[in-house]
Amino acid sequence: TGCGTALHAARVGEYLIERLANIPTEVDFASEFRHRNTPMTSETLVFAISQSGETADTLGALRESRRKGFRTLGICNNVASTIARESDGGVYMHAGPEIGVAATKSFTSQLVVLTLLGLLFGRMRNLSPAEGNRVIEALEELPEQIEKVLDLDDQIKAIAKRYAHANGFLFFGRQFNFPIALEGALKMKEITYLFAEGHPSAELKHGIIALIRSDLPSVFVAPDDSVFPKNLNNIEQVKARKGPIIALTSGNCAKHLKEIANEIVLLPEAPDYVMPILTVIPLQLLAYHLAVELGRDVDKPRNLAKSVTVE
């Protein structure tokens, strides 16, 4: 459980733990979870994820879980935080101070921690040594791959300039990248003050397609994975309705998007369970460059606080 960006990390963690460890996992807003009578057992482990370790709703969810007798694990950046002290166990992200209000590097750290936890739980269960080694290798390759993503900054800056007068953005993704669509929309809202929504790609035809128009770009997080053909179908639906398309993809999938997408951001290839660590960075950069283009205060967005310590 968590709030904001931490909740989106938790949603990626849900996919990770179910994939790597085959453990049923559920994610809920901390503000909702603390007031629900969620059916759980003595074997249930509750994760409380918070960069600051002081988020009021997440702390409330942690305390309610402990009151009910459930085991708790905190994932925090602040070593001296309340969540770190009050949880039964925990993992420190050690991401260093995050000065800007909008969370970026802490999100990356949360994803890495959750991947390692998924790997740990998987090894304690039925994950094969070979698959476990592949996860480790994928994580070890991330620094070099992230450098390659950061090399795309000039391209993303140019995209931001071209869409600086857009009325808003829609973000879409599937599986591991659905939470990244949510996070991309949140970053856009936080620092540009533009309308932005994130959705599973498959939900497009369940009402969202009514929003598609020429002045509202759709950002698709569609890397080369098992659900790319489904994403491609959704992209074609947006194209047929004259919606501008910014596509994040990888591998050979770019050739399928060449005649469809207005913008293609080609990312390094990676297994689907670590791809969110790469796909989120262009969305953070897009929001940043748009905010600068619009004259926003990126480090101190209006009405926001770094740590939400009130309910």
Q: Per residue in 188-221, pLDDT tens?
A: 999 999 999 999 999 999 999 999 999 999 999 9
- pLDDT at residue number 307: 65
Query: Which domains does the chain show, CATH number per domain?
Result: 4-140 (3.40.50.10490), 147-293 (3.40.50.10490)
The pLDDT score that the predictor gives to residue 14 is 98
Instruction: Round the average pLDDT of the chain to a whole number and report it.
Output: 95
Q: In what helix (H) or strand (E) does residue 76 lie, and over which residues does it extend? A: strand 71-76
Percent of the chain scored above 90 by pLDDT? Answer: 90
pLDDT at site 187: 98
Classify 187 as helix, strand or coil: helix
What contacts 31, CB < 8 A, 6 or more positions away?
A: 3, 57, 60, 61, 311
Length in residues, the chain: 311
CB atoms within 10 A of CB 255: 10
Average pLDDT over every residue of 10-20: 97
Question: Tens digits of per-residue pLDDT, 92-130?
Answer: 999 998 888 899 999 999 999 999 999 999 999 999 999
* pLDDT exceeds cutoff 90 at 15: yes
CA distance 244 to 217: 5
pLDDT of residue 306 exceeding 80, the answer is no
Structure tokens that stand for 260 in this block: 């469809």
Q: For residue 106, give Cα distances in angstroms to 43, 199, 206, 228, 245.
A: 28, 22, 33, 28, 28
| Confidence grade of residue 309 (pLDDT, cut at 50, 70, 90) | low
Could you tell me the pLDDT band of residue 53, with boundaries at 50, 70 and 90? Answer: very high
Tell me the average pLDDT across 124-139.
95
Predicted local distance difference test score (pLDDT) of residue 35: 87
pLDDT of 73: 96
Give residue 305's pLDDT: 75
Phi, psi of 137 (to 5 degrees): -60, -40
Q: Specify the pTM.
A: 0.95
Q: Which amino acid is at 289?
A: H
